[in-house]
């Protein structure tokens, strides 16, 4: 039998076949639409891409599949910044490992209900695909683009096993391709059941448990063969990040509510997926969700950090923060951190950590004294010291990092004013702008339609102030007017630009410290001033390698400019005056420094945040947790930012900056002839410090002897400052009508 095939062909465009001339052919090409050229270019690029990928896959295909089953666990070591290479057990500050013996089980030991829960969550096509599931990859990418979160990951169970067993955690396309190739090869070598068995005996489940048998015993006190639907749904839900979803921590644990909510959500996701696939009935899902969490054994061991170096200076809090930071930023999984044999080279300087601990203890060492926290950042964005507590066994709340450490933020008081000032300067407001600063004033309908009553520290009247002196003496009434001029939304936006991660409410009282922020947040924001307008960091890790020394991640070197250089330089000069002759004189030491005090309502929180050009440090003092109370009488002192926090900061900086380069902070218009005064072109006069209680005297702190005397006055302005802008009506002899929002009194 024969057949005839007819090919429909477009007429030839060659000059010889059409009789057209060469010039006609050129004009015909020129008349082709631009879309034709775009399609042609894309087609060529696609062919080139396919060829490159095909060549790479072919090369990777030559990689032999390792024989046998690899070792299942390697301890991760974490080292301080003094260890440059070969981080190991002898020089590490912590060793992260599971700490629970792995007991192998066979595929036949694993109940079907658990396998169904696992497949519904991790790999629904496991028994169908050949090692790689392209549709799962597409689904995961689509969900990520829609910001829906990932219900089922893009990597198959086989790929996950290959990565954990044979590869490193590098985030590269080459590693992903290698992972895919080895997954396909493994599927050809081993039956599905053995791959699943190896996977379940390898992965980390939290609480130090490696493998499904250890997980079943640790979480439920049963063997893996006894797992039911409730247990299976829970374990399948925590695979991706088990340490973030421990459902039964002690109720007084600060992470209890947060982790219980996460566990509820993950278990619900697994159960719903099983319902959608027809593997369980909705009634079974509802029964498990009504069961609560009593079937989960309460967690007893809080960490698996091995022997932590220098727990006497609070190192455990830094170790815990760093572990969380690596996982929360999706750099590594819990499994990789606890058993991947990583070498984590941190930014922690043990000498500075000791200096920070000593500064706090030598200032607040009595049993009834308030708590304190300190965070120091170097000029590369590294966390050089972090005191979040001293007794990790008693409380795991890290006072330095707020919500990230299981606690809450604290109100920064007037230490937040520089963020409003930076906003104003960035928008072109001059330092010479003046505001009347009475002891107390009412701004009609200024706070969400309500009247806003604002008072200075001790209701002290300060007269008319330019922005320099309003900052130096920390005038609340002047800054209340400033934030209304520049706009609350702009100050909130500036907060984010400076690295504040806390949720800052869009209310004008944030200028006086109404937001709850962390010590790390405040150190980050002020470090932007120190770095002349560039945001870098913060991060607690310099780099991470595998056990062979291959770099898996290293801290970025890029810097993000968030403030104009002149604005940052102006901020540095203004905040220098706070230390030289303002509310922060107790912080002054031999090197040029700048900073700001802060005191929250009723002396609940006290701060000093300051810096040199090489090191920024934030100090918070207050009563934490259940003992929270006001600091209106600590050793007979009302605790403001200019007392204990400034003293702690000074003690720390004297030690931590020893040997570091000293830098000057000048106005952008300075001529450079005098390191303590402005040039004659400066439009400002630094007024003498008032003698009223607006500047509380430092307690038990001698004035430095190596520092030149603080300036009293500067060159007079060549032109008078502009008249104050029109202010809202001042209060009369009768109080304004209710309601009135009263802001926290801060200095």
pLDDT tens across 584-630, in order? 999 999 999 999 999 998 899 999 999 999 999 999 999 987 667 89
Write down which residue in 230, 264, 290 finishes a domain: 290
- Of residues 58 and 533, the one with the higher pLDDT is 533
**Highest-scoring range by mean pLDDT, 133-142, 217-226, 242-251, 697-706:** 217-226
What average pLDDT does this structure show over 409-438?
Answer: 96
Query: What local confidence, expressed as pLDDT, does residue 677 receive?
Result: 35
Per-residue confidence at 4, pLDDT binned at 50, 70, 90? very low
Strand partners, 535: 560
- Residue bearing tokens 């990092």: 401
Q: What is the mean pLDDT of residues 213-221?
A: 89
pLDDT of 18 over the 60 cut: no
Q: What is the pLDDT of residue 449?
A: 79
SS3 37: helix
* 703 — pLDDT class (breaks 50, 70, 90): very low
| CB neighbour class for 690 (10 Å; exposed up to 12, middle 13-18, buried from 19) | middle
Which domain CATH number covers 107?
1.10.3810.10
Cα distance between residue 721 and residue 717, in whole Å:
8
DSSP 512: G
Euclidean distance between CA atoms 316 and 93, whole angstroms? 9
- What is the Cα–Cα distance from 510 to 196, expressed in whole angstroms? 54
Asked, for residue 52, whether it belongs to a domain, the answer is no
Q: Which of 180-189, 216-225, 649-658 has the lowest mean pLDDT?
A: 180-189
Dump strand ranges (E) for 17-176: 76-79, 94-96
Res 690 pLDDT > 60: no
**Bridge partners, 77 (sequence order):** 95, 343
Kindly report the number of other CB atoms within 10 A of residue 715's CB atom: 15
DSSP state of 535: E
At 329, list the tokens: 């930023």
57 has pLDDT over 80: no
Angle at which helix 256-276 crosses helix 282-290, to 10 degrees, equals 170
The yes-or-no verdict on residue 726 having pLDDT over 80 is no
Q: What angle do CA 244, 248, 252 make, to 5 degrees?
A: 95
Most confident of 131-135, 390-394, 468-472: 468-472
Q: Predicted confidence band at 573 (pLDDT cuts at 50, 70, 90)?
A: very high
Provide, rounded to the nearest whole percent, the portion of the chain with pLDDT above 70. 75
Query: According to the model, what pLDDT value does residue 576 have?
Result: 97
Is 349 contained in some domain? no
Per-residue pLDDT tens digits for 330-388: 899 888 888 888 999 999 999 999 999 999 999 998 989 999 999 999 999 999 999 99
Domain-embedded: residue 256: yes
Residue at which a domain ends, from 273, 290, 307: 290
Helix locations, 90-244, DSSP H:
112-122, 134-145, 157-166, 173-189, 192-202, 212-220, 229-237
487 and 718 Cβ atoms separated by less than 8 Å: no
CA–CA separation, 150 and 733 (whole Å): 62
pLDDT for res 710: 37
Q: CA-CA distance, 411 to 510, in Å (whole number)?
A: 9
Q: What is the pLDDT of residue 69?
A: 60
Q: Give the pLDDT mean for 147-163.
A: 68
The backbone torsions φ and ψ at residue 354, rounded to the nearest 5 degrees and listed phi first, read -65, -40
Radius of gyration from C-alpha coordinates of the chain: 32
Report the pLDDT value the prediction gives residue 49, as an integer from 0 to 100: 66
CA atoms within a 13 Å half-sphere pointing along the CA-CB vector of 210: 24
Length of the chain: 747
Q: Tally the C-alpha atoms within 13 A of residue 134's C-alpha that lie toward its C-beta.
A: 0
Give the dihedral sign, CA 713/714/716/720.
negative
pLDDT tens for each residue of 256-306: 888 889 999 999 999 999 999 999 999 999 999 998 898 998 876 667 777
Question: Nearest Cα to 372, choosing from 360, 384, 382?
Answer: 360
CB of 540 closer than 8 Å to CB of 318: yes
In a domain, 323, yes or no: no
Question: How does strand 383-387 pair with strand 343-346?
Answer: unpaired
In a domain? residue 129: yes
18 versus 617: the higher-pLDDT residue is: 617
Reply yes or no on whether the pLDDT at 534 is more than 50: yes
Phi-psi group of 30: left, alpha or beta (phi > 0 → left; psi -120 to 50 → alpha; rest → beta): alpha
Taking alpha carbons only, the member of 271, 267, 290 closest to residue 282 is: 271
Q: Which of 89-93, 346-350, 378-382, 736-740 has the lowest mean pLDDT?
A: 736-740
What average pLDDT does the chain have? 81
Range of the domain at 191: 98-290
Spatial strand order of the sheet with 76-79 comes to 94-96, 76-79, 343-346, 541-545, 551-554
* Residue 661: CA count within 13 A, CB half-sphere: 6
First to last CA, the chain: 101
pLDDT at 132 over 90: no
Structure tokens at 347: 């930014």
Last residue of a domain, one of 227, 256, 290: 290
Residue 36: its pLDDT value, please?
A: 66
Kindly report the backbone phi and psi dihedral angles of residue 320, in degrees, each rounded to the nearest multiple of 5, phi listed first: -65, -40
Q: What is the DSSP code (8-state) at residue 21?
A: -
Output 493 or 54, whichever has higher pLDDT: 493
Residue 583 lies in a domain: yes
Confidence of residue 741 (pLDDT cuts 50, 70, 90): very low
DSSP symbols for 281-319: -HHHHHHHHHTTTTTSPPP-------S-TTGGGTHHHHH
- pLDDT tens digits, one per residue of 95-128: 887 665 567 889 999 999 999 999 999 999 899 9
Q: What is the pLDDT of residue 138?
A: 61
pLDDT top residue among 637 and 548: 637
Smallest Cα–Cα separation from 552: which of 170, 79, 86, 76? 170
Q: How many domains does the chain have?
A: 2
Return the pLDDT at 59. Answer: 53
Question: Is residue 309 assigned to a domain?
Answer: no
H/E segment holding residue 337: helix 334-339
- Do residues 565 and 531 touch, judged by C-beta distance below 8 A? no
Q: Whole-angstrom Cα distance, residue 168 to residue 129?
A: 24
Q: Which of left, alpha, beta for 122 (phi over 0: left; psi -120 to 50: alpha)?
A: alpha
- 284 and 433, same domain (yes or no): no
Query: Is pLDDT of 686 > 60?
Result: no
The answer to whether residues 468 and 440 touch, using CB atoms and an 8 Å cutoff, is: no
Check residue 743 and give its pLDDT: 36
Q: What is the CATH number of the domain that holds 423?
A: 3.40.710.10
**In this structure, what token pair is assigned to residue 496?**
């984010």
Q: Are residues 421 and 280 in the same domain?
A: no
Higher pLDDT, 737 or 566: 566
Residue 724: the pLDDT is 36
Query: From CA 541, how far away is CA 58, in angstroms rounded?
Result: 37
Distance, CA of 504 to CA of 251 (rounded, Å) = 29
More confident residue, 139 or 430: 430
pLDDT surpassing 80 at residue 137: no
With respect to residue 397, please indicate whether it lies within any of the assigned structural domains.
no
The closest alpha carbon to 527, from 482, 570, 572, 474, belongs to 572
CA angle 364, 369, 372 (to 5 degrees): 60
Whether the predicted pLDDT of 719 surpasses 60: no
Min mean pLDDT across 56-70, 248-262, 726-740 is at: 726-740
| pLDDT surpassing 80 at residue 194 | yes
Angle at 520 between CA 518 and CA 521, to 5 degrees: 65
Tens-place pLDDT, residues 221-244 = 999 999 999 999 999 999 988 888
């Amino acid at each position: 039998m024969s057949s005839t095939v007819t090919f429909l062909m477009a007429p030839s465009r060659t000059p010889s076949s059409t009789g057209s001339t060469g010039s006609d052919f050129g004009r015909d090409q020129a008349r082709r639409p631009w879309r034709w050229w775009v399609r042609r270019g894309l087609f060529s690029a696609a062919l080139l891409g396919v060829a490159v990928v095909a060549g790479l896959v072919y090369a990777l295909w030559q990689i032999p599949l390792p024989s046998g089953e690899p070792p299942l666990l390697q301890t991760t070591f974490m080292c301080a910044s003094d260890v440059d290479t070969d981080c190991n057990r002898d020089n590490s500050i912590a060793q992260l490992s599971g700490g629970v013996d792995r007991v192998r089980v066979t595929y036949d030991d694993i109940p079907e209900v658990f396998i169904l829960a696992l497949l519904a969550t991790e790999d629904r096509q496991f028994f169908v695909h050949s090692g790689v599931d392209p549709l799962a990859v597409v689904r995961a990418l689509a969900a990520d683009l829609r910001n829906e979160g990932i219900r089922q990951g893009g990597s198959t169970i086989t790929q996950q096993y290959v990565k954990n067993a044979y590869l490193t955690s590098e985030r590269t396309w080459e590693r992903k391709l290698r992972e895919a190739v080895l997954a396909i090869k493994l599927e050809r070598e081993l039956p599905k059941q053995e791959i699943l068995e190896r996977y379940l005996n390898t992965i980390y489940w939290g609480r130090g448990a490696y493998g499904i048998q250890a997980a079943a015993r640790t979480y439920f006190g049963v063997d893996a063969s006894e797992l039911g639907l409730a247990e299976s749904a829970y374990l399948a839900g925590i695979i991706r990040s088990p340490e973030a979803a421990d459902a039964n921590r002690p109720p007084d644990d600060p992470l209890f509510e947060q982790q219980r909510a996460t566990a509820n959500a993950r278990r619900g996701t697994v159960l719903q997926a099983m319902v959608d696939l027809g593997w369980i009935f909705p009634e079974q899902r509802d029964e498990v969700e009504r069961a609560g969490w009593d079937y989960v054994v309460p967690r007893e061991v809080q960490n698996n950090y091995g022997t932590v170096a220098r727990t006497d200076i609070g190192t455990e809090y830094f170790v815990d923060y760093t572990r969380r930071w690596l996982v929360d930023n999706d750099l590594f999984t819990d499994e990789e951190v606890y058993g991947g044999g990583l070498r984590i080279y941190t930014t922690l300087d043990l000498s500075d950590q000791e200096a920070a601990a000593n500064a706090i203890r030598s200032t607040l060492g009595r049993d009834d004294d308030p708590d304190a926290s300190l965070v120091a950042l170097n000029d590369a964005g590294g966390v050089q010291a972090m005191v979040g507590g001293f007794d990790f066994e008693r409380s795991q709340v890290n006072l330095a990092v707020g919500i990230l450490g299981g606690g809450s933020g604290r109100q920064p008081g007037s230490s937040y004013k520089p963020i409003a000032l930076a906003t104003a300067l960035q928008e072109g407001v001059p330092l010479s702008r003046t505001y009347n600063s009475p002891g107390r004033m009412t701004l009609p309908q200024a706070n969400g339609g309500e009247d806003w009553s604002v008072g200075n520290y001790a209701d002290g009247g300060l007269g008319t102030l330019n922005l320099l002196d309003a900052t130096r003496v920390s005038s609340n009434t002047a800054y209340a007017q400033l934030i209304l001029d520049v706009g609350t939304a702009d100050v909130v936006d500036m907060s984010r630009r400076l690295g504040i991660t806390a949720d800052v409410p869009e209310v004008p009282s944030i200028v006086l410290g109404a937001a709850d922020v962390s010590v790390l947040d405040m150190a980050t924001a002020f470090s932007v001033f120190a770095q002349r307008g560039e945001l870098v960091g913060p991060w607690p890790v310099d780099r991470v390698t595998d056990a062979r020394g291959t770099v898996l991640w290293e801290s970025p070197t890029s810097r993000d400019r968030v403030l104009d250089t002149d604005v940052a330089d102006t901020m540095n000069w203004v905040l220098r005056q706070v230390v030289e002759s303002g509310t922060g004189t107790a912080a002054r030491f031999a090197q040029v420094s700048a900073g700001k005090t802060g005191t929250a309502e009723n002396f609940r929180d006290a701060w000093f945040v300051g810096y040199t050009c090489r090191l920024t440090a934030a100090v918070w003092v207050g009563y934490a947790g259940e003992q929270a109370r006001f600091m209106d009488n600590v050793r007979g002192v009302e605790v403001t930012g200019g007392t204990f926090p400034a003293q702690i900061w000074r003690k720390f900086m004297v030690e931590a900056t020893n040997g570091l380069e000293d830098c000057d902070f000048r106005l952008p218009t300075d001529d450079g002839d005098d390191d303590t005064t402005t040039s004659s072109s400066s439009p400002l006069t630094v007024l003498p410090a008032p003698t009223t209680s607006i500047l509380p005297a430092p307690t038990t702190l001698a004035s430095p002897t190596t520092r030149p005397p603080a300036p009293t006055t500067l060159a007079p302005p060549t032109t008078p400052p502009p008249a104050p802008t029109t202010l809202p009506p001042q209060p009369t002899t009768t109080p304004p009508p209710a309601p009135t929002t009263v802001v926290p009194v801060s200095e």
